[in-house]
Amino acid sequence: MRYRAPGADALIATDLDHFTALFHRTSGITHLLASPAPEILATLTTPMTLDELMAALVRDYALADPDRAALSARLDELIASGLVSPA
Amino acid sequence: MKHALSVRIGPVGFRIGSDWRAPIEQLTDLYRDYPTAPIADYTVRLFASRAWRRWVRPSVTIGGDYMLPEAAPLPLSQGLLAAEMAMNLQLALGHRRHLLLHASVVERDGRALLMTGESGAGKSTLATLLAAHGWRFMGDEFALLDGETGQIHAFPRLISLKGTSVAAATSAWPDGRFGPLLAGTPKGDIRHLVPPVDAIARMDEPAIPALLLFPRHGFAADTREVPASEAFVRLTQASTNYVALGEAGFAALTGLVRAIPARAIDYPDGATAIRQVEELWART
C-alpha cells in the first residue's frame, strides 16, 4: 500500500511551541499536530510505501531509532484524521 | 415593527424592533450616548409568539437575521435581556468581518489586554474593575480581531452583570448608570451597566493586542504561563465564528497567539486580581 498526503498548497502550517497548527484547505479543518506527524506530511511529497517513507525519514531527519510499527500507527492516525489517504 | 431603535456599537450597527414600547424605551435610555447606525448590519425583533400574547401574560420571542429555534420566550419584564441576548446572537452567528473571541478587553496606551474564560471566570467583573482603575473599557463580551491589521476593535455594549458582580460593580462605579434589576432570568439575577463615557466616546479607536489572560475566580493567587499551542486551542473554542472564517480565521488566530504572551491567573478577589494584572502588564 502507498500513502498519499495533500499537496503543499492544500496545507497551511504554523509552528506553535512544541506543536504545529495545520489548516487543511480542502476540509477547512484545523489540526494540532505533534512530531512526527508534520515531518511525515512534509516527506510524503509523492505517494510512498511504508518502507519508502521510513527510508526517507531516516535520511532527512536522522532518526536514531526507526520503528516501523510506530510509523504505521502514526499513518493510521493521519488517515483517521483525513490528512493522509491510501494511494 | 411598532417600536424601533437604531444603534451602533463599535463597528456594528443594529436595528431593534419590538411589538412593545417598554424594552425599546429602556434600550433607548441605556444607549442614549451611542450613535445611531447609518446601516444596520443586524436586525433584532422582539415579538409576541401569538397576537394575543402582546397583552395577556406578554412573552417576548426573539427573532432576527439569525435565530436559535429552541430559544424559549422571556416574560416582557425581561425584554431588555431578550434584546441584549438577540444582539449577541446576531453577532455570534452572523459576523464575518472580524474573528470574534468571547473575551473582555481593556486598553491602555493603545495596547489591549484580552481576558477570556468560561462564563463565571470573572472576565466581565475584571474588565469593569480595571476600567475603574484607569483602563479604557473596550467590551466584556466579544473581542473583534481584525485579521488584516491584527488590531482589536471595541464592542462596548452594555455590561451584563450577574449575581454577586452586581454589588462589585456598584461599589466600583457608584455613579454608574444601571438598568433595572432583572430578577429570576434564565441566567439568574442580571443588571446592565452602561460602559464609562470614554469607552463609548473612543469606541472607534482600535488597539494592538499585548497580553492574553485566562482568569479564574475563587482560587489562591497564582499565575501560569500558557503556551501558544494551548492558547490557540482555547481561543478556537472561545470563538463563535472561527470555523466559519476558515483560512482567514486560522491566520488571524495563529498570528495573535504567536504575537502576544498568554497567562492563566487564579485570583481570590478583585483587588488581588488588579495587582496581578498590573504586575503582568508591567512586564509586557
Amino acid present at B3: H
Burial of B50 (0-12, 13-18, 19+ CB in 10 A): exposed
* Residues ≥6 apart with Cβ < 8 Å to B66: B42, B89, B90, B92, B93, B94
Do B33 and B64 belong together in one domain?
Answer: yes
A87 located within any domain: no
Query: What is the domain range of residue B244?
Result: 99-282
Whether a cis peptide bond, with omega within 30° of 0, leads into A36 is yes
Q: A72 lies in a domain?
A: yes
* Residue ending a domain, choose from B46, B61, B94: B94
Total domain count, chain A: 1
B85 and B161 share a domain? Answer: no
Q: Is residue A77 part of a domain?
A: yes
CB-count burial class (<10 Å; 0-12, 13-18, 19+) for B94: middle
Which residues have a Cβ under 8 Å from the Cβ of A5 and sit 6 or more positions away?
A40, A41, A44, A45, A78, A83, A84
Catalogue the E-assigned strands of chain A. Answer: 2-4, 11-16, 19-24, 29-34, 48-49, 85-86
Residues B72 and B118 in one domain: no
* C-alpha distance from A85 to closest chain B C-alpha (Å): 22
- Could you tell me the CATH number of the domain that includes residue A34? 3.90.930
The domain containing residue A56 runs over which residues? 2-82
Cβ atoms of residues A67 and A23 within 8 Å: no
| Residue A57: inside a domain | yes
Q: Could you tell me if B141 and B158 lie in one domain?
A: yes
pLDDT digits (tens, 9 = 90+) for A56-77: 999 999 877 889 999 999 999 9
Contacts (Cβ under 8 Å, ≥6 apart) of B109: none
Minimal Cα–Cα distance from B60 to chain A, Å?
Answer: 37
Chain A hits for B247, CB-CB cut-off 8 Å, are 12, 23, 25, 28
| Residue B52 pLDDT | 64
Angle at B187 between CA B182 and CA B189, to 5 degrees: 35
Instruction: Of B237, B213, B221, give the one whose Cα is nearest residue B104.
Output: B213
Q: Do A23 and B250 touch (CB under 8 A)?
A: yes
Quote the pLDDT of residue B118: 80
ipTM tops the 0.90 cut: yes
User: How many beta carbons lie within 10 A of that of residue B71, not counting itself?
Assistant: 15
Low-confidence residues in chain A, pLDDT < 50: none
For position B173, which CATH number holds?
3.40.50
Do B238 and B160 lie in a common domain? yes
pLDDT of residue B73: 82
**Which has the closest alpha carbon to B143: B13, B252, B267?**
B252
Q: Do B229 and A16 touch (CB under 8 A)?
A: yes
Q: Do residues B35 and B108 share a domain?
A: no
Indicate the DSSP class of residue B227: -
Residues B175 and B250 in one domain: yes
**CA dihedral angle for residue B188, residue B189, residue B192, residue B195, rounded to 10 degrees:** -80
Contact list in B for residue A12 (CB cut-off 8 A) is 247, 250-251
User: Last residue of some domain: B52, B69, B94?
Assistant: B94
Tell whether B207 lies on the interface with A, counting CB pairs under 8 A: no
Q: Are A21 and B250 in contact (CB under 8 A)?
A: yes
Contacts of B246 in chain A (CB under 8 A): 23, 28
Residues B40 and B138 in one domain: no
Q: How far apart are CA B2 and CA B4, in angstroms?
A: 7
pLDDT at B56: 65
Q: Does one domain contain both B208 and B137?
A: yes
B138 within 8 A of B103, measured Cβ to Cβ? no
Q: B198: closest CA among B173, B215, B181, B180?
A: B173
Q: Per this entry, what is the length of chain B?
A: 284
- The tally of domains found in chain B comes to 2
Residues B84 and B213 in one domain: no
Concatenate the DSSP letters of all residues of B198-216 into one string: HHHHTTT--BEEEEEEEEE
**pLDDT, one tens digit for every residue, chain B (284 residues):** 789 999 999 999 999 999 999 999 999 999 999 999 999 999 999 988 766 666 666 778 887 887 776 677 888 888 899 999 999 999 999 999 999 999 999 999 999 999 998 877 788 889 999 999 999 999 999 999 999 999 999 999 999 888 777 887 888 788 899 999 998 888 888 999 999 999 999 999 999 999 999 999 999 999 999 999 999 999 999 999 999 999 999 999 999 999 999 999 999 998 999 999 999 999 98
User: B264 and B213 in one domain?
Assistant: yes
Q: Is B251 on the interface with A (CB under 8 A)?
A: yes
